[in-house]
Chain A
Amino acid sequence: MYSNKKKCVAMLLAGGQGTRLYSLTRDLAKPAVSFGGKYRIIDFPLSNCINSNIDTIGVLTQYKPFDLNQYIGNGQPWDLDRLNGGVFVLPPYMKGETSDWYKGTANAIYQNIEFIDKFSPEYVLVLSGDHIYKMDYSQMLAYHKEKGADCTIAVINVSLEEASRFGIMNTNPDNSVYEFAEKPKHPKSTNASMGIYIFNWSKLRKYLIEDEEDKSSQNDFGKNIIPKMLGDGQKLFAYNFSGYWKDVGTISSLWEANMDVLDPSSGINLDDSAWKIYARNTAEPPHYVGKNALIVNSLITEGCNINGKVVNSVLSTGVEICEGAVVEDSNIMPGAKICKGAVVRHSIVGNNAVVGENAVVGDTQKEMVDGQWQITVVGPNANVKANQVVPVKAMVD
């Protein structure tokens, strides 16, 4: 008999609005935001999946999905165009007489129980679409099986100061979880949840249905499902991950992660033939470097045209830097143009934005303030007028 059965199905939560990215996510979902020159954030979990031999992925979308849908398409750039399996974009849909937006992370999976059931998987991998990292999920799955766990949660060691910003897993010596603390004021450990879970599907299915019946629940994995499973004495294990991992949910962290790509010691090596990150290609010609250009310590990709000075910066596809312009410590997103004589420092310039002649955007930032870099943002399609001065941390829409 022909069978659709898959051992493990991945569910990628991509519906969040990403409000802390402000204008960068005004017109598109956070996972569709550009990163590292030629990537989008979602390329990381999708590439991790295919590199981990997981070929069936549901992408749960809700907020401004068109860009993301178009980007994912039939999944071909990630080798996810499959006869059986592949990538599926899953927006909320009508069910009989009821229909609902995704109310929370757990509810989003709950609403797609039927989708997962079609593949009768033993395991479900839950991922989020706003992290930059390279991870072999197949090793985590092997660990999950070895421990005989009902749920395995990937954790990363963070500093004690940072720990109060994360969900913290308190574990026994055998790595089994005895307590989960969401953003604790006085953290007992520094094992932060990475928002990556593997569940035995039969178990998760049961908990999702129960959670849905509980009207007081916020239908969230961290707040509801995990504590409930712990309370019921289910076997939850922490899986320690030690590579590069960064939540790029804020302007400061998105900028910082882009800078990390420039730094070979940061640990996020994209030039890794054993673990390629795939992206949809835009068929642009190689980039051109003009007669008066100077480029140092930067990443430049296809379709760029550089005639000015670029230092410590990441330029995305099709960026134009005109003569006499200076770009330092910045991330310039696809199609943006920095006109003659303009200066851009410690900034993020959004897709197709134009920084007019001799404009000055942002300024050099030596250190963080309250744990945040003071980054200036020029929003997608925004226009900075000629000679305009955009002060540090301002946002131009």
Chain B
Amino acid sequence: MNNAMSIIFASDNESKLNELTLHRTTASLPFGGRYRCIDFALSNLVNSSVTTIGIITRSNYSSLMDHIRMGRDWDLNRKNSGIAVFPPYASNTSTNVFKGKIEALYGILDYIENSDDEYVIVTNSNIIASIDFDEVYEAHLASKADITMLTYTSQPTTSRRVLVESDLSGRVRGMKITRNASDQVSEVGLSCYLFNRKQLIQLVTDSYERGKMDFERDILQANIDSLNIHAYKVAGHAALVDDVKSYYKESMAILDGDIRDSLFYSVGKVFTKVKDSVPTRYCEGAKVVNSLIADGCKINGTVENSILFRGVVVEEGAEIRNSIVMEGGRIMKMSRLNFAITDKDVTVTEDKTLSGSEAYPVVVVKNKTV
């Protein structure tokens, strides 16, 4: 859809990612061996010809800036359109960083007003899915919706979730904003919306001026009767990453071939920053099964049911099971990892054991030596 721009929120729901977002935004959280979470949103947009993209950051955005640079790796270094990253905005009248999405959007209203696109896609950056926005757009037109909100089917967790009740036509009739986990499967909002640009400007301005700050409650829930809000259920695999548990679970999900096909081979390619790593070298002592391995690794130990990011070294006799080792990790001789997540550039010295459980994987913070 070449008549849409997009606004991506780099930060949302970060509090529960704990150590993983200590030094970074959710957007720049490493995911799936060689990606950052925002790569999925950016690639989906680019693959659907949306090339004017504003990214709103709140804090810790240097890792994001380093990842995005001029947007070249997504083919977004354009003369017209391309990427704009908005650092935390503090106006003359308020010294605080924005409190919510409405205030954040209000802060960059100029940017949205300057566009001549008819539509705006407003999205979070923690959505792991392959989404064809051309199809979203067709559905939006067919349903004559004012707002189309993307949904998926899942069990609500203790993170803030928007549960959607829609009628047979797909129109949203009820909306529940909750932090209550449930075993019951529901239609859950992905925090990704298609708006008419002028209407978004008007809704944001109006809410902000009335002191309303909650995007989901004050723009969506409050207008459920007056606006035609439609749900669009994303085809294929979709997931939200917003706490350590979901990060671990959704990472491991990629070891499933069908989910990989859905994420990487169904709609379009997933682009990311190119680092020119060499291919991964398997040495004589390598025993690797059911794992996802990025380039630049050197493996001389055992790796099972795990994800290795770029440039990980697994020394002789080391054993990595059910774990995620981020870029530059070094697991030295005879060390054992089980249900562990080690952040970037972590070294686990010889003969150490790190062990967590599926529900509570051990997390080792960036640059640490164990």
Is A149 an interface residue, CB under 8 A from the partner? no
Q: A271-B296, A293-B289 are in contact. Are A287 and B280 (CB under 8 A)?
A: yes
1/0 contact string of A303-330 vs chain B (CB within 8 Å): 0000000100011000000000000000
Contact A278 B276 (CB under 8 A): yes
Among the listed A277, A278, A293, A300, which residue makes an inter-chain contact with B280, where contact means beta carbons less than 8 Å apart? A300
Contact A295 B288 (CB under 8 A): yes
CB of A309 to closest CB in B, whole Å? 12
Is A171 an interface residue, CB under 8 A from the partner? no
Is B278 an interface residue, CB under 8 A from the partner? yes
Contact B32 A299 (CB under 8 A): no
Contact A299 B269 (CB under 8 A): no
CB of B243 to closest CB in A, whole Å? 24
Is B119 an interface residue, CB under 8 A from the partner? no
Contact B271 A289 (CB under 8 A): no
Contact A301 B279 (CB under 8 A): yes
Residues in A with CB closer than 8 Å to B280 are: 287, 299-301
Residues in B with CB closer than 8 Å to A294 are: 287
1/0 contact string of B252-289 vs chain A (CB within 8 Å): 00010100100110000111101010111111101111
B286-312 contacts to A, CB under 8 A, are 286-296, 298, 303, 307-308
State A270–B276 Cα separation when bound (angstroms).
Answer: 11
Is A211 an interface residue, CB under 8 A from the partner? no
1/0 contact string of A271-285 vs chain B (CB within 8 Å): 100001111010111
State A315–B280 Cα separation when bound (angstroms).
Answer: 10
Max chain A CB contacts within 10 Å: which of B255, B272, B291? Answer: B291
Is A148 an interface residue, CB under 8 A from the partner? no
Contact A297 B283 (CB under 8 A): yes
State A302–B271 Cα separation when bound (angstroms).
Answer: 13
Among the listed A38, A279, A297, which residue makes an inter-chain contact with B282, where contact means beta carbons less than 8 Å apart? A297
Contact B271 A283 (CB under 8 A): yes
Contact A287 B292 (CB under 8 A): yes
Contact A283 B270 (CB under 8 A): yes
Residues in B with CB closer than 8 Å to A301 are: 279-280, 295
A21-65 contacts to B, CB under 8 A, are 36-38
State A76–B72 Cα separation when bound (angstroms).
Answer: 9
Is B34 an interface residue, CB under 8 A from the partner? yes
Contact A281 B32 (CB under 8 A): no
Q: A37-B279, A271-B278, A301-B280 are in contact. Are A291 and B289 (CB under 8 A)?
A: yes
Q: A76-B72, A295-B288 are in contact. Are A289 and B278 (CB under 8 A)?
A: no
State A297–B285 Cα separation when bound (angstroms).
Answer: 9
Contact A287 B282 (CB under 8 A): no
State A283–B276 Cα separation when bound (angstroms).
Answer: 12
Residues in A with CB closer than 8 Å to B289 are: 289-293
- Count of residues in A whose CB is under 8 Å from the partner chain: 36
Residues in B with CB closer than 8 Å to A298 are: 281-282
Q: A38-B279, A293-B289 are in contact. Are A283 and B269 (CB under 8 A)?
A: yes
CB of A32 to closest CB in B, whole Å? 18
Q: A278-B276, A295-B288 are in contact. Are A286 and B295 (CB under 8 A)?
A: yes
Contact B294 A302 (CB under 8 A): yes
CB of B253 to closest CB in A, whole Å? 13
Is A296 an interface residue, CB under 8 A from the partner? yes
State A37–B293 Cα separation when bound (angstroms).
Answer: 15
Contact A286 B279 (CB under 8 A): no
Contact A285 B290 (CB under 8 A): no
Residues in B with CB closer than 8 Å to A76 are: 72
Is B361 an interface residue, CB under 8 A from the partner? no
Is A77 an interface residue, CB under 8 A from the partner? yes
Q: A285-B264, A288-B291, A296-B284 are in contact. Are A270 and B278 (CB under 8 A)?
A: yes
State A310–B269 Cα separation when bound (angstroms).
Answer: 27
State A80–B271 Cα separation when bound (angstroms).
Answer: 21
Q: A290-B289, A296-B286 are in contact. Are A285 and B34 (CB under 8 A)?
A: yes
Is B33 an interface residue, CB under 8 A from the partner? yes
Contact B288 A293 (CB under 8 A): yes
In the A-B complex, the 3 residue pairs with the closest CB atoms: A286-B33, A37-B279, A301-B279
Given A285-B270, A288-B292, 20 additional A-B pairs, CB 8 A: A37-B279, A270-B279, A278-B276, A281-B274, A284-B264, A285-B34, A285-B263, A286-B33, A286-B34, A286-B294, A287-B280, A289-B290, A289-B292, A289-B303, A290-B290, A291-B289, A299-B281, A300-B282, A301-B280, A302-B295
- Residue contacts A-B, CB under 8 angstroms, 28 given: A36-B279, A77-B276, A271-B281, A271-B298, A278-B276, A283-B270, A283-B272, A285-B33, A285-B264, A286-B32, A286-B34, A286-B295, A286-B307, A287-B280, A289-B290, A289-B303, A293-B289, A294-B287, A296-B282, A296-B283, A296-B284, A296-B286, A297-B283, A299-B279, A299-B281, A300-B279, A301-B280, A302-B34
